[in-house]
Structure formats: C-alpha cells, structure tokens
Amino acid sequence: MSDDEIRGPSRGWLRRRLGYPLAFILCAAVIVALLLGSESKLETTSGANLPIAVRTLDIVPETVTLHVRSEGTVQPETQTLLVAQVAGEIIQVTPALKAGGRFAAGDLLLRIDPRDYDNHYARARAALERAEVEATYFDAERARLRKLAEQDMVSESQLTDVERAAGVATANLADARVQVESARLDLVRTEIRAPYSGRVASEQVDTGQFIQRGGIIAEVYATSRLEVRLPLANSQLGFLDRTILETGVYDAGAAPAVKLFAEYGGELQTWQGKLARSEGTIDRLSRVVYVVAQVDNPVSDKGIDLPVGLFLEAEIAGIAVDNATVIPRSSIREGGNVLIVTPDNTLQFRRIDVLRYEGDAAVVTAGLTSGERICISPLQFVVEGMPVTLAN
C-alpha cells in the first residue's frame, strides 16, 4: 500500500468538495435577504359597480293573428277516367293524349273510326223522313174524314181506323226523331274531347287499337283548381275559426288564407290558397284531422305552376287575439319569466302567460303592460334590482 493511500484525501480535494457548495449557499442566502428587504406593498382600491348594457324591447299590445303550420301533398280537385262511349278502331291519338300532356277544354284528344256511325246516322235520317211523310199524310186524312163525318158521309169504323193510323204515324215520327238523335250522339262520341283544361295523368290506348264501349282511354285531371290535404292535431284546431269545427265548411268569403311553400326548381316557391273544408273524421291510426286547402290560382310568385304530387309546407291563418304581445322566444327565462327594465334602469323578474310559440317568437296574453320594456339580451347571471344601461 502506498503512502498516499495511507494518508487519505488531500486538503485540496476537501476544499473543492466542501468549499464550493458552501459558497453557493451563502450567496443564495444573501440574495434572498436582499429581496425580502426590498419587498414592495401593493395598494388595493375598490372598483366601481358599472351597469351592464342590455338591449330592450318596448311592449306594444296589438291584435295578433295566429298561424297553424302543417304539410301535405298536392292533389287535383277534379280527376276523371275518360272512357269510350262507342266501340270502334282508334284512328287518331293527338299529341296531348300522353302522360303529362296539357290540353284545353274542348280540345280533340282521340278519334274513333266514324264510318259505321255515319251510316247509322244516315239510315236514321232516312227513317225520319219516311215517318214525317207518313205522319203528314195521316194527319191530312184524319182531318178530311172528320169533316165528312160531320156530314154523315163516312162510317164510324172508317173514322176510328184513320185515327188509329194517324196515332201510329205520330208515334213512329217521335221514335224516328229519337233514333236520329241517338245516331247523332254516337257519331259525335267518336271524337273524344277534353271536358276541361288540364293534364294527362296516364293513357292506355294507341292508334290502331280496337276499343269497346266503356273501355278506359286515359286518366286526366283539371289544373284550374288544386287541393292539399293537411293533417292537424286536435290541439291545433283550437287556433282556427270555430266554423271548421261546427260545419266543416267555410264560405268562400270567410275562408282563412293558406300560404303554401316548397323548394321546387332550385328556388323557394310560394303559392296562395284558402282553407275550404274539413274531412270531419279523426284518423284512427294517426289521431289527426285532415283539412283541405284549395288553390284557385295554382301559379307561384315566380310564375311556376303548382305540380300535382309536390310535398309542401302550409301556414294557415288562424284566430285573431286582441291585446297580445309578440316577444322573442329567447327573452323568456326559466319558469316563464321575463326581465322588466324599470324606469330607474334596474331589472325585475315578471311572470307572463304565453298563449303559444310560433317559431322564434312567443305570443304573450298576460303579464305585460303597454309602455313597459323587457330585456332581450342573453344575461347569464341576474340579480333582482341589478342596474343596467340601455344599449339601444
């Protein structure tokens, strides 16, 4: 073993191991003492209670017309199955007699071969002429024998025979006239004409086809007036005129207005109609009552025809409520209260009665007085009597 190992660590080594940490601790203590000696005191002041700026709404009671919303599908008021009244071969189908085709009242849609019916009409006319000749002859003969009978120049049996023959001739004439009219109608019915202005829903015939009497030609509907069936819940009926509950039908002048709107052709289209009637029964499955809106002018505000089958929304004008106030729905707080801004610009809770909500608005019938102001700003924390300032 060497002498260094016997003697242990040197003094220089101990100085480095102990001296540097002690010097660092001493410096840190001095710095802390200096910082504590220079501590500054903060001066606190109490801030002023500044009022919150709020927006307000002046209360002005008025007569408010309520609205009932629903939705339904457009359907024609008049829809007809065209059938053939005579049998025959179809020789012409006009371009209008196609699904979606348009036509005006009286337009020719289809023609059946009329030649057989021309012949029937001609024969009926000939039979009528014979009957007229016979009736004229026997009328004259009856008049002649009656004059002779007054002079006792003919027997009673001769007069009876001519009276009988004249009566038969008169009856034959009446029958011939009926036959002529029947043949004329059959001839007219070989041309199928539109009963009204409208469109074709579907057609089932074509040129060259033989159709029997009563055969279906097409299904058509009128476009001058359309209807929309609208389902209403029992609670919604209370906001409509009571006529719909008592009679089920409105007079033309008293029918409530109905606004119909839907997205069609890439734009929001609006049509105007009126509430015509109620179907009167409650659907057993859905528990709703169907009312019918009538559209007399099926053209939108942008000039678009109302298409049958379109699903749209409806807004029905309901009853008018006097002394009601419409306020924003967002201004009503929990518990059915609103915040009244008093004349000295403080907040006060007030209980109100809401008749119904309509979209973002609420119709209030009690709790507010004309001239008062309510707070419509969304305040999270409110204390009764809290001061505010008006932002508007």
Res. 21: pLDDT tops 60: yes
What residue type is assigned to position 327 of the chain?
A: I
CB atoms within 10 A of CB 295: 21
Residue 89, beta-bridge partner list? 210
- Give the pLDDT mean for 266-284: 88
Q: How confident is the model at residue 149 (pLDDT cuts 50, 70, 90)?
A: confident
Residue 305 DSSP label: B
What 3 state SS string does 187-216 have?
HHCCEEECCCCEEEEEECCCCCCEECCCCE
By mean pLDDT, which of 41-50, 99-108, 237-246 is the weakest?
Answer: 41-50
Res. 1: pLDDT tops 50: no
3 state DSSP class of 331: helix
Sign (positive or negative) of CA dihedral 145, 151, 156, 158 = negative
Domains of the chain: 54-64+322-390 (2.40.420.20), 67-76+222-319 (2.40.30.170), 80-110+195-221 (2.40.50.100), 114-189 (1.10.287)
User: Cα(264)–Cα(253) distance, rounded to whole angstroms?
Assistant: 30
Question: 174: Cβ–Cβ under 8 A, 6 or more apart, which residues?
Answer: none
Which pLDDT tens digit goes with each residue over 32-43?
777 676 655 555
User: Cα(316)–Cα(67) distance, rounded to whole angstroms?
Assistant: 5
User: Cα(325)–Cα(346) distance, rounded to whole angstroms?
Assistant: 22
User: Cα(57)–Cα(371) distance, rounded to whole angstroms?
Assistant: 10
Which pLDDT tens digit goes with each residue over 338-387?
888 888 888 889 898 888 888 888 898 888 888 888 888 888 888 888 88
Residue that is written with structure tokens 């008293």 in the block = 254
Res. 6: pLDDT tops 70: no
Question: 132: Cβ–Cβ under 8 A, 6 or more apart, which residues?
Answer: 173, 176
228 vs 287, residue with greater confidence:
228
Sign (positive or negative) of CA dihedral 201, 202, 207, 210 = negative
pLDDT of residue 380: 81
User: Cα(270)–Cα(261) distance, rounded to whole angstroms?
Assistant: 4
Q: What size, in residues, is the chain?
A: 392
Res. 53: pLDDT tops 60: yes
Res. 13: pLDDT tops 60: no
- What is the rounded radius of gyration, in angstroms, for the C-alpha atoms of the chain? 49
User: Cα(136)–Cα(131) distance, rounded to whole angstroms?
Assistant: 8
Give me 52's structure tokens.
């919150």
State percent of the chain over pLDDT 90.
43
What residue type is assigned to position 194 of the chain?
A: A
- The sheet with strand 216-222 has its strands ordered as 79-83, 216-222, 198-203, 102-103
CB–CB of 57/372 below 8 Å?
no
Which pLDDT tens digit goes with each residue over 216-251?
999 999 999 999 999 998 888 888 888 877 788 887
Residue 381 DSSP label: S
Residue that is written with structure tokens 């809106």 in the block = 293
Nearest Cα to Cα of residue 232 among 273, 270, 278, 263: 278
Residue that is written with structure tokens 């008093």 in the block = 342
Question: 319: Cβ–Cβ under 8 A, 6 or more apart, which residues?
Answer: 65, 66, 239, 240, 241
Give me 146's structure tokens.
């009656």
CB–CB of 233/91 below 8 Å?
no
- Give the pLDDT mean for 153-169: 87
Q: What is the mean pLDDT of the chain?
A: 86
User: Cα(130)–Cα(176) distance, rounded to whole angstroms?
Assistant: 9
